[in-house]
Amino acid sequence: MSISTPERRRVRSRPPVFLVILGILGLAIFVIPFVGLLARVPWSDLPELLTSDIVVDALRLSLLTSIAATALAAVLGVPLAWLMARVEFPGRAIVRGIVTLPLVLPPVVGGAALLFALGRRGLVGEPLYEATGLVLPFSTWGVVIASTFVAMPFLVITVEGALRNLDQRYEGAASTLGASKWTVLRRVTLPMIGPSLLAGLVLTWARAFGEFGATITFAGNLQGRTQTMPLAVFVALESDRDTAVAISLVMVVVSLVVLIALRERWWKAL
């Protein structure tokens, strides 16, 4: 082994040229579309465009449904993750497969499946309609369900992984101190997986906020009821490009703000 001189160290720390080139090209794939979008923004008409009924309705609906979907995913997904992580039951591997399916399935197919199951003449939808008069497709609830279907896997997978990695002796220690199962969950388990839970919630929310395929298939495209931001962009691209650009800009800004605000804890968990 030769003694490493300062000169030698400098040589070694220089990254290979071809990696640098490919890396920069990789970054460009992310950056160029945003530059293109920003170049097309009609800055002077922006205030007027953003306050139009279509945009206001879509933004309100998108925020409402994405937050509702995230809340629904938390309420149902955390218990599911807990069961998958902590309870040995037959077919657990199959359950894990089913939970991850929406991640790889084309959202349109998911939306179609939801329609067949929960539509007014669907397997579950028909008895539900007869019993309660509730119609899910083409309603705001339909948007929430479609978004939850597509986005909840992010939460379940993140939380399940965190629960698996959690040292269960802490929970045992809590129970010897007199804590009930509920207290252990509330004061020890959930706080200890907090960063992962938060990361899962953010991923779920982001996926729900951008959800398009399953929503348009299952819930349709009705302004004020089911037309979320991505749907509004899609429609506007056909008729009114400036509005499409304005809505896209809003979505980019909202997503960026959320990511930056949670960046600290986000990186820690992933």
Partner 1 sequence: MEGAVTRQGLEAHLQVVVTDAFRLEIQLSIPPGKTIALLGPNGAGKSTAVSALAGLRPIDGGRIELTGTVLDDPERAAFVPPEQRHIGVVFQDYLLFPNLSVLENVAFGLRSRGVARDEAVTRSETWIERLGLGGLGVRKPSQLSGGQAQRVALARALVTEPDLLLLDEPLAALDVTTRAELRRTLAEHLRTFPGPRLLITHDPTEAFLLADEIHVIEDGEITQSGTADEIRLRPRTAYVADLVGSNLFAGVADGGRVETAGHHLHVADTDAAGDVLITIRPTAVSVHLHEPDGSPRNTWPTTIELIEPLGERTRLRTGGPLPLVIEITTEATRSLDLAAGTDVWVAVKATEIGVETDRPVSQRSGSRPDAAGGRP
Given the rule CB under 8 A, which residues bind partner 1? 167, 169-170, 172-180, 183, 187-188, 191-192, 194
Determine the longest span between alpha carbons in the chain, in angstroms. 83
d(CA 50, CA 34): 19
- Give me 154's structure tokens: 């992010």
> Which is nearer to partner 1, 58 or 163 (by Cβ)?
163
Query: DSSP alpha helices (H): ranges in 133-240?
Result: 140-165, 169-176, 181-184, 190-192, 194-209, 213-218, 229-239
> Which is nearer to partner 1, 175 or 255 (by Cβ)?
175
Smallest separation, CB 86 to partner 1 (Å): 14
Smallest separation, CB 102 to partner 1 (Å): 32
- Give me 71's structure tokens: 């809340």
> Which is nearer to partner 1, 58 or 184 (by Cβ)?
184
> Which is nearer to partner 1, 106 or 172 (by Cβ)?
172
Q: Under a CB-based contact definition with an 8 Å cutoff, are residues 221 and 211 in contact?
A: no
Smallest separation, CB 168 to partner 1 (Å): 9
Q: Under a CB-based contact definition with an 8 Å cutoff, are residues 184 and 175 in contact?
A: yes
> Which is nearer to partner 1, 42 or 194 (by Cβ)?
194
d(CA 19, CA 79): 44
Q: Under a CB-based contact definition with an 8 Å cutoff, are residues 79 and 95 in contact?
A: no
Q: Under a CB-based contact definition with an 8 Å cutoff, are residues 183 and 174 in contact?
A: yes
- Integer-rounded Cα radius of gyration of the chain: 23
Smallest separation, CB 174 to partner 1 (Å): 7
Smallest separation, CB 196 to partner 1 (Å): 13
Smallest separation, CB 159 to partner 1 (Å): 16
> Which is nearer to partner 1, 194 or 210 (by Cβ)?
194
Cα dihedral: 139, 151, 102, 83 (round 10)? -110
